[in-house]
Structures are given as C-alpha cells and as structure tokens.
Structure 1
Amino acid sequence: MERGGCLVTVELALTVARIITAVVFVAIGITHFVPSVVRTMAAMVPAVFHGRPFSPRGWVWVTGVAEIAGGIGLLVPATRPAAGILLAVFLVCVFPANAYAAHHRDRFGVVAVPLVPRMLMQLALIALVLWVGLA
C-alpha cells in the first residue's frame, strides 16, 4: 500500500510540475509580443544573428511562438515527449542571447543575469523540461 502511495505522490508531483512549467512557458512566450519587452529582447540578440534569417524583432517573435507551442505541447500527451526535447533544444539555442546580455549588464540591468548563474539556471530548466516531457 505504501509503495502505491509513493507512486501516486511522484505522479502528482510530475503532473503539477508539468502544468506549472507549461503555464510559465506560455506566459513568457506571450510576453514576446509586448512592445516594451520586444524592444529589450531584440536588443539582446547578438549581431551575428541579425538577418539570419530574421531581424532581432523577428527572432523575439519566433522564440515567443516556440515557447507558447512548447508549453502547450507539454500538456498534450501525444506531443509531450517532442515538446520536452524541443524545449531543451530551444533553451540551448537562446543561451547566446542570455550570454550576450550577461556581458552587457550595464545595458540590460536586472534582466541580465550574470553568466554562471544563468548557465546553471538554463541547465536546470533543460533538466526540468526533459523530466516533465519524457517522464
């Protein structure tokens, strides 16, 4: 009986973590369409990515759509594994913008988390989306 209770607790924790993670990704994705946020995030796109293939604003919008789709994907059992994997890849892909911001704290202020804590946070997020997506 106790073993079954433990499995229910783990499954409940996983479900709650999955829902919270999905809501956070959808909410953050939506912010990618708020003009003041778009301006700040567009400024974080390293110059090497400008026009390849999108403008900085285009990158912000594309990443917003990706976050919204990934968050929704975590809630749909058929797309959950792909969503978890693709969100992990997404987090790796957006790290250069976070690193750029970290190196320009004078320009981005509190939005620019220092590089090492940001990298550790990114790794934790990758582990989280893989767990809620693949478990």
Structure 2
Amino acid sequence: MDAFLVAQWVLRVVLAIVFVAMGVLHFVPRVQRGMQAMVPPAMRGTGLRSPRTIVVVSGVAEILGGLGLLAPWPTVRFAAGIGLIALLVAVFPANAYASRHPERFGATAVPLVPRLVAQIVLGALVLVAAI
C-alpha cells in the first residue's frame, strides 16, 4: 500500500477520534456550561440561537463529522470533511471571544493568532484526511 494512503488513513482515524471525543465533551455538564459561556453575546438568542442549542448542535456535528471521516465511501468522507471545516469556521467566533477574555476562560482562552493558525492547520489536515 502507498505510504501516503497509510498516512492518510492514520490521520483520518486520529482526527475521527479527536472530533468524536470533542463532540462528546459538549454533553458533559461542566464542559457544556463553559462552552455556552464562550458563545459571544451577539450570537446569543432564544430557541435555535440559545447557547445550549448552539453547543449541542456543534457537538452533534463534531461527532457525525468524525464518524463520517471513517466512512468507506469517499463522497461521505469528503462531505464530512467539508462539514468539519465549516464547523471550524462557525465556532471560531466563540474561540475569538474567549481569547479576548482570558480572565474568564483561563486555559481555554488561547490567544487569537495561535488559535487562528491552529484552526487553519486543523482544517487543512481534515481536508487531506477527507480526500
């Protein structure tokens, strides 16, 4: 088997584990409360825009996306990868909000530039794994 395909498979498995694990964390009450607090005030609302709903939906999306990376069908893996990249973009405002309030969010408040670089690298790795 081609070395690239093996590396891609390993990357796919590692990313799937990471995304599924992170998605599951969205349902741990203490972690969920912290994530809800990270939702920027401008994004807060009621119903579908409530912080709890946003956290739950993003958690489900991470779990499904991670599982999708393991699908035997290339089109499903690609769709999962695009979905995960969209999710990384969608959650970035929460990460940016946390970075502006390190006194409130502690270690979760990764400075903005390193967080942005990490999100871009993660998105690129997801794309490589998904193609």
- Equivalent residue in structure 1 for 2:83, among 82, 86, 101: 86
1:46-125 equivalence runs, <5 A: 46-51=40-45, 53-78=48-73, 79-125=76-122
Moved more, 49-58 or 104-113: 49-58
Instruction: Tell me by how many angstroms 1:77 deviates.
Output: 2.8
Over alpha carbons, which structure has the higher Rg? 1
Distance in 2 of aligned mates of 1:122 and 1:101: 15
The two structures have a TM-score, normalised by structure 1, of 0.91
Report the Cα distance in structure 2 between the residues aligned to 1:17 and 1:32, rounded to whole angstroms: 23
Letter in 2 for 1:14: Q
Question: Deviation at 1:126?
Answer: 0.7
Amino acid in structure 1 at the alignment position of 2:90: C
Alignment partners' CA distance in 1, 2:96 and 2:21: 22
Question: Hey, what's the Cα distance between the residues in 1 that align with 2:81 and 2:72?
Answer: 11
Aligned length: 128
**Counterpart amino acid of 1:48?**
A
Give the Cα separation in 1 of the matches to 2:67 and 2:97.
28
Name the counterpart of 2:127.
Answer: 130
Partner of 1:39 in structure 2?
A: 33
Aligned to 2:21: 27
> Which contiguous aligned blocks of 4+ residues in structure 1 show a shift greater than 6 angstroms?
none
User: Percent same amino acid among aligned pairs?
Assistant: 55
Structure 1 stretches of 5 or more lacking a match? 1-6
SS in 1 for 2:49: coil
RMSD value, Cα:
1.1
